[in-house]
Every structure is written in C-alpha cells, then in structure tokens.
Chain A
Amino acid sequence: MDILITGVLLGATYSLIAMGLTLQYGVARIMNLANGEMLVAGAFGAFWVFTAQKLSPFAAALFVVPGAFLLNWLIYRYLLRPLVRRAKNRGMLEVDTILATFGLSFVFVGVMTFAFGGEFFTYSYLAEPYRIFGSPFGQNRLAASATAAVICGLLYWGIHRTRPGTAMRAVAVDPTAAGLVAIDVPRVSAFAFALGGAVTATGGIVLSTFLTMDASIGVVFTMKALIIVIMGGVGDVRGAIIASLILGLAETAVASLIDPGLTLAAAYLLFVLILLFRPEGLFGRRQS
C-alpha cells in the first residue's frame, strides 16, 4: 500500500514535469530542450514569493502562469516560427528546433544565473506528515499530486471536449490536413506551445516546495520529461499521464523492494522495453 501511494505521488510529480512538453512536442511539433529551464524559472518565482513576499508559493501562479504563457508565445512567434516555415518536412523541423532550443536552454541558464545567482534555492513549505492508512506522506507532495490531477483533468477536458481542443488534436494528427479544414495551424501551434510552457512553469512552482533547485538543474527535468513523452506516445496527454504513473510506481517498487540504487536502471529498462515493443509509445499512432 505504501509503495502504491508513494509511487502514485512520484508519478504525479513526473506528470507535472512532462505535461508541458507533451503539448509542445505533440501539437506544436517543437522538441523543446529548454523545457526544464522553464520549470526552474517557475520554481524561482515561487521561491521569491515565499521568501521575499512571505506568501504561499502557490500565489506565484498569479504571475508565473501568464508570464510563462506570454514568454513561450513570444519564443514560438519570433524564434521558432521561422524554423517551422523553413522546414521542408517534419524531420528537418525536429533537427532545427532541437538545436535552437538546446541553445536557448543555455541562454536561460545564463539569464537565471545572472538574475538569481547560482545558489541553491530551497525552502520548507507544507513539509509536514499527513497520514494515509497510518503511513506518513509529505503534505507538499500530496498538494503537488492534487495540482497534477487538476491540471491533467483540465487539459484532458480541454483537449477532448472543447472546440479549440479539437483543433489542437487535429493539428497534432496532421497539420496539413488541419489547415485544409480552415484551422489556423500557426495560431493553434503557438497556443499549444505557450500553454505547454505555462503548464511546465506551474509544475516548477509545485515541485519547488519539496525539491532543491538551482539555475543549472533544468536539464535533469528535461531528460525526465523526454523519457516520459516518448514512452507515453507523442502528442497524447493520456499517454504522458500513464507513462508518468508507470515510471513512478516502477521506481518506487524497485527502491522499496530491491535496492534504491537500481531505480534509474529500472526506469531506463522500462523505457527500452517500450521502445522495443511499441516504438510509437503507449498511446502513439503508428506512422503510416
């Protein structure tokens, strides 16, 4: 039972890391390697709100979410749109955007080091036990899971039940065909990219309540997000959620039952297995 709950909590954490990238890669077709830095920027916002303003770190969402949305929209509009236009096919776009966002990640690290300094930023918030079936769990991790559930629910509902969501799914499936049925593909892509950035930054706010971060740590989250997005299948929110939970449960089970030293090995083994047997990911569509 302990393993199950701990695993789900960790899975929820992972889904917060990966959800934004799913949108950015699935819909806007941008493999954003600066994704982790956006998460760290959100975490910085929360840290600042908590230490300097003495408010709940979640209050940072008030400016972090719109700020991240705007910033990512601008990045897409002025930095990535030219690449999208220039690209002759999807492969070329992927290579170009990987290179561009890889460079962008260094820019972000530099700017954040300059703006906030290179030190650790860590604080205690809701670091109190909450008992479920007699076992203590961190309240901050529970809060993170609740946030993850809300975000995933909203995204799922938005994508599957609303008109803009339908447009996003259409673009995810086939941008050319979506254009033919009068969907403004560039606009939908920009929206998806900006939304993905905002979701990632929100994840950063929540994770900062229990993870110690610094300006350079973003790449760790980018890697995790990449694994989850590829495992779950490109462009499917459900896939990312399921993959996060599987990863969280597997890592916790291995850590508790076998050896914590093997968690990384277990995660990558799962990754390899999925790639071997379902190269398109759990919920991905086979390329025709």
Chain B
Amino acid sequence: MKRRTVIGLAIATSIAGALSAGVASAQNTIKIGAVAPKTGPLAAGAAITHWPNIQLWAQQVNERGGLRMKDGSRRKVEIIEYDDRTNPGETIKAVERLATQDNADFIIAPYSTGLNVAAAPAFAKLGYPQITATAITDKIPELTQRYPSIFFALGSTTALAGSVADVLGKMRSEGKIGNRIAMVNVADAFGIELAEVSRPVFKKAGFEIVFDRSYPLGTQDLSPVVKGAKASNPDAFVAWSYPPDTFALTEQAKIEGLNVKAFYTAVATAFPAYGGKFGKSIEGHLGAGGVNMDSPEIQAYRAAHQKVTGKPADFWASAVTYASLQVLEQSIEAVGLDRKAVTDHINKSTFQTVMGPWKFVNQSIDKFWTVGQWQNGVFHGVASTGLPGAKPVIVKTGW
C-alpha cells in the first residue's frame, strides 16, 4: 500500500514535472516564422542563400542557450517554416497564417525581390518588422515610405548597374578594354529592369552598346544569343541573367570561344556551384555580389555555415541574410518581444554583424557589395558602395 503510494506519487510528480517543463519551454521559446520557396522556380536559390542561414542562426542561438533577454533570462528560438512554392499569393497567406494562427513572435523576411515586395503590405498590416536581405530594387524610397516596417540590406538596381559601369570604365581608362559592350538580359522583371537602368548608365560612361538582346526565361539553347554577341566583336560582355541562364551563357561562351577581357553575369555567379562547375576557366569572371574574404567575421561565419549546414555559403547574399538575422537577434535582446519597439530599435541602432557594423539609414543599408570577381577559386568583392576590403579587378585571360 505504502509502496504503491510512493510509486504513484513518483509517477504523478514525474508527469507533473514533465508537463511543467513542457509548459515552461513552450512559454520560453520565441516563435520565429519563416516563409520562402522550397519548391518552384526560386527554390534552388532559396536553398543556397536563404534556408541554410536560418538553420545556422537558429542552431547557433539555441546552442548558446537562447537569446539573452533584458531580464537576464535565456529564451530559445523555434522556427516555423512554410513553403510558398514561389507564389506571391502563398507568401502572403503564409505570413498571415504565421501571425494569426501560429502566433509567431517574429517573421523572417521572405526570399527574393518579388516575394518580399508582395508580402510587404501583409507585414506592415500585421505589424511585423521585415528585414529583407535578398531584395534589390530602385523602389526603396517609395516602399520604405509606405511601409514603416520594411528594411533593405542588399542594395538598389541603379547602384548595381552603376558599379558595373564604374568597373568597366576603370578597366578602359587603364587601357585594358575598349568601349564596346555586348549586353543581354533575361526577359523577366529583374533582367528587364537592370537592362533599362544600365543602358543610359553605360552610354553616359562613354560605352557603346554594340549588341543588346533579351531572351525568355527558361530558354534551353542560348547559342544564338552568344553567337550574336560574339559577332558584334565586343570588349566586354554583360548579362543581366538568372541562375539557369548564368550557367548556360557561361558554358556557351566557353564553347563559342567568346574571348572578352571582361565577362559579367548577374545572379548565381556568386554561387559556389558556379565555381564548382567551371573550375579554372572562369578566372576573372565578374558577377553581382561579392564578399570580403579577409574579414575574420566572414571567415568564421563561412566556416560555421559549412560545418552546420554541410554546404558552403554563397559569395553574396548569404552573409547579408545571416546579418539580417543578427539584427533581429540583437533587437530582441535589447528591447524584448514588442514588435513596435523592435522596429524602432532597428531604425535607431547600430548592429555588429558579419557584414561589419550596420546602421539603417531611411530603413536601408547604404553600404553593400555590388560587383565581385572570381580570383583563384574565390569570388571576391571588387566594387561596393563604401565597404572595406575590395580587391583590385583583374583582366579575364581566356578559357
């Protein structure tokens, strides 16, 4: 009888203990929502740049014991993930669901320009800060004015195009290239916007655009495009391209023997897979993005990325994505879970991130990498809007 009571008591206490532990940890964890493509056209890009950083960040925060709150307590983070199938409607729905049904404390900004812009009204309406790390647009002033909760960290279209013109202009003034540019773009929002922005920029810089064509997204054979570009006998080749065509244009240029001194492709040039696929033959290739490989913070970040996720970080938006999560982390630690206070804090404060110190001016970071170049198997930043550590540009020597 006595023994039974003891056992019963023991069971009761252990159940109560487990229950209270469960309650306590459920109360303690901070729910972080995440919505981005896991399937659909942008899934591959998100799988390289977006999702691994969320995994890395959550793992590192929880390994430290959680976020250190103002009152000295530690609270772990719990990530709730949704796949938006690269469909803006799904992104918005998932943001609303995270806010109203999952009661997420914060929501990580979605992936890509289009999905972030689409979700901006939902974030603003629900009062969640949206720190974007993969959105590039010239509409930053309008968007930040309309949505007080959105933040930009990757730069603007004009800055991206302007930097390419600067890099090429410098090469020309050093006598390394002439002034003939062959330009192609993918007929999709990103490519069209960049082509339109860059035409006047190149002309103003004194370049002659000798070939200017677009091709549809998903074109399976780009050899007519590359043949045409080659026939125009350019000094520099500039492609405002998306991942699959960045790979295809490079391979075709190699096959056709398009020998230019400056070869630029936009998105995906900074992906490790680009270097992996082409090896030494892309020495000197220019592309969108870049990273300061000499920074110890970046080195430590890249090592941790490789260790935790099992794959290398890309050479552009990966570190920016991680830095945007650090901004969220430091804001929560400073002011707690009040979303309004966090938004205010992001606006006012300076953050120590893997990208160096970050201070949002008019809700955007004005120092970012714009052009990178493959040098000795690494994609170094060679042009930025004021970041340290840019490497000198080298001339592409051949395939």
Contacts and interface: CB of A to CB of B under 8 A. Distances in A.
22 contacts: A6-B223, A13-B221, A110-B39, A113-B38, A113-B39, A118-B38, A118-B39, A118-B43, A119-B44, A120-B48, A120-B271, A127-B254, A127-B255, A137-B255, A138-B223, A138-B252, A210-B248, A214-B44, A224-B220, A248-B221, A255-B215, A263-B216
Contacts of A128: 255
Contacts of A141: 221
Interface string B82-95: 00001000000000
Interface in B284-320: 311
A252 interface: yes
A124 B48 contact: no
Interface stretch (B18-26, B142-150, B162-170, B224-232): B224-232
B66 interface: no
A257 to B, nearest CB: 9
B255 A136 contact: yes
| Chain A interface size range | 35 or more
Interface in A201-222: 210-212, 214-217, 220
A243 to B, nearest CB: 15
Contacts of A212: 243-244, 247-248
Given A2-B227, A118-B38, A260 B248 contact: no
B224 A256 contact: yes
Chain A CB count within 10 A is highest, among B44, B51, B252, for B44
A229 B38 CA distance: 30
Contacts of B243: 120, 212
A194 interface: no
Interface of A: 2-3, 6, 9-10, 13-14, 109-110, 113, 117-124, 127-129, 136-138, 141, 210-212, 214-217, 220, 224, 248, 251-252, 255-256, 259-261, 263-264
Contact of B251 (A2, A138, A215): A138
A251 to B, nearest CB: 7
B40 A216 contact: yes
B340 interface: no
Interface size class, chain B = 35 or more
Nearest to A121: B273
B219 interface: yes
Contacts of B215: 255, 260-261, 263
Contacts of B218: 220
Nearest to A211: B220
Contacts of B311: 119
Interface in B185-241: 187, 213-216, 218-225, 227-228
A136 B251 CA distance: 12
Nearest to B46: A118
A123 B46 CA distance: 20
A261 B46 contact: no
Nearest to B224: A255
B219 A260 contact: yes
B398 interface: no
A123 B277 contact: yes
Nearest to B47: A118
Contact of B213 (A109, A260, A264): A260
A224 B222 CA distance: 16
Given A10-B220, A224-B220, 19 more contacts: A6-B224, A109-B39, A113-B38, A117-B47, A119-B48, A120-B44, A127-B251, A127-B254, A138-B223, A210-B248, A212-B243, A212-B248, A252-B224, A255-B215, A255-B221, A255-B225, A260-B222, A263-B215, A264-B216
Nearest to B44: A214
Q: Which of A121, A124, A129, A259 has the most CB of B within 10 A?
A: A124
Contacts of A10: 220-221
Contact of B47 (A109, A119, A129, A264): A119
Interface in B254-275: 254-257, 268, 271, 273
A216 B37 CA distance: 10
B224 A113 contact: no
B257 A129 contact: yes
A46 to B, nearest CB: 14
B244 A211 contact: yes
Given A127-B254, A211-B244, A256-B224, A118 B44 contact: yes
B221 A6 contact: yes
Contacts of B225: 255, 260
A210 B213 CA distance: 22
A91 B38 CA distance: 34
Contacts of A119: 44, 47-48, 273, 311
A220 B218 CA distance: 8
A214 B221 contact: no
B278 interface: yes
Interface in B339-376: none
Interface string B38-58: 111101101110010000000
Given A136-B256, A252-B224, A261-B216, A122 B39 contact: no
Nearest to B271: A120
A2 B46 CA distance: 38
Given A120-B273, A138-B252, A260 B224 contact: yes
